[in-house]
Structure 1
Amino acid sequence: MDFNINLPIYLQIADYVCDKIMLQLWLPDEKIPSIRELAIELEVTHNTVLRTFEHLQNKNIIYTKRGMGYFVEQNALSLLNSSKKEQFLKEELPSLFHKMNIIGFEIDELVTEFEKFKNKNKPDHEN
């Protein structure tokens, strides 16, 4: 994993875990990789992954079963969808709209390009 120097590594790993959940690669009540497994996979210390898991537990995204490991919370997907949408609306969309306005890029052009993107990036079972 390539890390961005402007964001703490544990938060970048949290985004990685959240992406897996949002893509439904890790399902509700399903066991996720252990701290050790994820640390090896991402080439970080297990303390960093532990910090990530503690952060995600505090956000009710994952939970632990003593002696069994970490699992995806039942409502993690809906929590993530609403928080990621809110973050996008507040942090990314204003910048996009600003750039669109400067270059004269109209909303209907954006819709067309987004539809092309969605069609090109459908999961294999939908193509």
Structure 2
Amino acid sequence: MPHLAIEYSANLEGRADIGALCEMLLKTVLETGLFEVGAVRVRAFRADHYAIADKLPENAFVDLNFRIGKGRTDEEKKRTGEAIFAAAIDTLGPLFETPHFALSLEIREIDAELSWKKNAIHPRLRGK
């Protein structure tokens, strides 16, 4: 159930490689060893309409929302969040050279009783 959604301001087009960010974050999530390969999703959504802080046109953001199923310790969640945040900072580093960029991450646990899934990828990756 680990789904990492990246929301970013449209003014990052040409200033940040969002595809590379997706790839790096997928790699980072898998390297934690806490999530099954067939369950991980990383996707990005461009926000065409937004208003940030003092509304300067150069203000930009990336917001990371990581939804996971229950079953990990607080320490595992914290370690995972720190790894994801560090990878995002490394990938987006040049954006921090200006006073116009904000990065955020939140981890949310999904209630299994209120989450429905059907995944045909798992059997293939599990060799079944």
Per the normalisation by structure 1, the TM-score is: 0.26
RCO greater where, 1 or 2, for CA within 8 Å and sep 6 or more?
Answer: 2
The structure with more strand, counted as a fraction of residues: 2
Tell which structure's C-alpha radius of gyration is larger: 1
Per the normalisation by structure 2, the TM-score is: 0.26
